[in-house]
């Protein structure tokens, strides 16, 4: 088993940070995931520029 972040071989099957080799790799990989998620730009569609005439009745 190898750490998906740094590729280091993990020999200890009781490794608490599996599948990562360490807490650090786990946090880095997790942070990478989150930052990539936030980095995704919101799709700008031209339709969003128009006011929707069918306004949601529950919307103030």
The residues of the shown chain that bind Zn ion, judged by CB under 5 A, are 3, 5-6, 8, 21, 25
Cα dihedral: 22, 3, 10, 24 (round 10): -10
Q: Smallest gap, in angstroms, from Cβ of residue 9 to Zn ion? A: 10
CB nearer Zn ion, residue 11 or residue 44? 11
CB nearer Zn ion, residue 4 or residue 34? 4
Q: Calculate the CA 53 to chain-centre distance.
A: 35
- As a whole number of Å, the CA-based R_g of the chain is 22
Q: Smallest gap, in angstroms, from Cβ of residue 8 to Zn ion? A: 5
């Amino acid at each position: 088993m190898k750490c998906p972040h740094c590729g280091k071989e993990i020999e200890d099957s009781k490794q608490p940070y599996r599948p990562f080799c360490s807490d650090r790799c786990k946090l880095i990989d997790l942070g990478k995931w989150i930052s990539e998620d936030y980095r995704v730009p919101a799709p700008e569609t031209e339709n969003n520029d128009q006011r929707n005439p069918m306004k949601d009745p529950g919307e103030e």
